[in-house]
Structure 1
Amino acid sequence: MQRRFRPRKKIDPFQKDKTKVIDYKDVNMLKNYISERGKILPRRVTGLNAKHQRQITDAIKKARQVALLPYSAE
């Protein structure tokens, strides 16, 4: 009988380090949560909890609105 491979649960970096702040002006940090096609990555990929995923989503949308991030990949 084969053992099934279970992927390791991702750790929420904002939960671990309370000093990190989600800010729409921090474009380098936000790029970690966007796919190469410009889409926002889901929770199952990022490993964030629901609260931080909502904050990341809002920050990405705000950064797109003020033209810090593109809406789609070029």
Structure 2
Amino acid sequence: MNPIFPLQPETNAKGKQRVFKKRTNPIKGQKVIDYLDVKFITRFINDQGKILPTRITGLSAYQQRKMNKAVKYARHLALITFVGQDLS
């Protein structure tokens, strides 16, 4: 909100109004984050094998911590790879 003109919407440097999208929680229906659900866990890993940050995944902080532990445990048990997919 603009402190000088409180009734005007915020604008960016080009003068256009900013529009924010409401993020939906990607695991809304699923109660438990399980390390054995490899297909679900791989949604939160990029093609290089890195865990995606919460600003991209849309998870809450609690869910992101649980997802990180699940990914690391699945990697340790060799259910998913440490590095990304083979490029050849």
Question: TM-score by structure 1 length?
Answer: 0.85
Larger helix fraction of residues: 1
* Identical residues among aligned pairs (%): 42
Structure 1 stretches (4+) deviating beyond 4 angstroms?
none
Structure 2 alignment gaps of length 5 or more: 1-14
Deviations 1:28-49 (A, max 9, x none): 0001000011100000000000
Query: Cα RMSD between the aligned structures?
Result: 1.4
1:10-25 maps to which residues of 2 (within 5 A)?
Answer: 10-14=23-27, 16-17=28-29, 19-25=30-36
Alpha-carbon separation, structure 2, partners of 1:48 and 1:24:
16
**Deviation of the 1:21 alpha carbon:** 1.6
Instruction: Indicate conservation of the 8 Å contact 1:9/1:47, yes or no.
Output: no
Alpha-carbon separation, structure 2, partners of 1:71 and 1:20:
26
* Larger RCO (CA under 8 A, 6+ residues apart): 1
Structure ID, larger Rg: 2
Aligned pair count reads 71
Structure 1 alignment gaps of length 5 or more: none
